[in-house]
């Protein structure tokens, strides 16, 4: 019977990403056959795995939801300090988790799924998947600032240069941005670097899935056509 690393198993069950699974294991929140799991251990489908007392099982059906995350909702599985968290806002019969975060003060499209392989494929920065945003700031943009951001900005606090990106000005203080990487609070940091403060940030597209007509707090299941396209672009097949 095939063994699989516990963090990969938890991700495949849609519990969280592999990185977050490692954190759960380190915290002692994961049990295998009644014993606290060790980092790096392996399991098979015959093992009983629980996370914070709840039994984990492989998903029978792969699900992807398009969710309009409102401002004020935190992308986290568990946080006693957060007023609202994604896991408690979505009332869906199958447990799903997010594939790529949006910070608390941002809104827009968040893809939720129970497929850990899809989450890992989408979060892998080297894949360069597109994410589109509408960004509003406190003052009018200058051509120089926009050109600088298009070329890539050095973020001193992270010691990295952002990838070149697509930017279209849609109003004096509003732009449409398309990024291909997922640096923490990247857009806010880039704008701040140019002397601008973001007042509104909304994600409207992830790869080829669009926010469309969803309203804050609403979600919908992806169509079969959308699912097939999303999986294909991530180099995966829907089994």
Of 156, 188, 16, 27, the closest CA to residue 86 belongs to: 16
pLDDT of residue 59: 65
pLDDT at residue 78 is higher than 70: no
CB atoms within 10 A of CB 85: 17
% of residues, the chain, pLDDT over 70 = 95
pLDDT at residue 235 is higher than 80: yes
pLDDT of residue 41: 93
**What value does the mean pLDDT take over residues 6-12?**
87
**What value does the mean pLDDT take over residues 156-167?**
94
Domain at 64-125+212-233: CATH architecture: 2-Layer Sandwich (3.30)
> Which superfamily does CATH assign the domain made up of 4-55 to?
RNA-binding S4 domain (3.10.290.10)
pLDDT at residue 119 is higher than 60: yes
pLDDT, tens only, 195-216:
999 999 999 999 999 999 999 9
Catalytic residue flag (residue 103) = yes
**Mean of all residue pLDDT scores within the chain:** 90
- Residue listed under structure tokens 């799903």: 96
Residue that wins the pLDDT comparison between 11 and 134: 134
Sheet-wide strand order for 35-36 = 35-36, 30-32, 49-51, 54-55
Look up residue 43 and give its two tokens. 């399991």
Domain at 130-206: CATH architecture: 2-Layer Sandwich (3.30)
Specify the pTM.
0.77
pLDDT of residue 75: 85
Which listed residue (20, 47, 103, 105) is catalytic?
103
How far lies 49's CA from each of 13, 14, 78, 115, 230, in Å? 11, 13, 19, 17, 30
Q: Where are the domains of the chain?
A: 4-55, 64-125+212-233, 130-206
**Three-state helix/strand/coil letters over 14-34:** CCCCHHHHHHHHHCCCEEECC
Domains 4-55 and 130-206 share a fold: no
pLDDT of residue 79: 61
């Amino acid at each position: 019977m095939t063994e699989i690393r516990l963090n990969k198993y938890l991700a495949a069950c849609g519990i969280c990403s592999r990185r977050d699974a490692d954190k759960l294991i380190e915290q002692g929140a994961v049990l295998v056959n009644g014993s606290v799991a060790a980092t790096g251990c392996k399991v098979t489908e015959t093992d009983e795995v629980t996370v914070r007392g709840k039994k984990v099982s492989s998903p029978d059906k792969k699900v992807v939801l398009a969710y309009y995350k409102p401002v004020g909702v935190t992308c986290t599985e568990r946080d006693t300090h957060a007023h609202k968290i994604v896991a408690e806002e979505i009332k869906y019969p199958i447990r799903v988790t997010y594939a790529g975060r949006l910070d608390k003060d941002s809104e827009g499209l968040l893809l939720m799924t129970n497929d850990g392989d899809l989450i890992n494929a989408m979060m892998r920065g080297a894949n360069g998947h597109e994410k589109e945003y509408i960004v509003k700031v406190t003052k009018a943009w200058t051509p120089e600032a926009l050109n600088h951001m298009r070329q890539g900005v050095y973020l001193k606090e992270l010691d990295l240069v952002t990838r070149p990106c697509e930017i279209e000005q849609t109003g004096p203080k509003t732009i449409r941005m398309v990024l291909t990487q997922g640096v923490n609070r990247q857009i806010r940091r880039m704008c701040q670097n140019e002397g601008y403060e973001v007042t509104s940030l909304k994600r409207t597209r992830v790869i080829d899935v669009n926010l469309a007509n969803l309203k804050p707090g609403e979600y919908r299941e992806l169509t079969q056509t959308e699912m097939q396209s999303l999986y294909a672009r991530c180099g995966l097949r829907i089994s």
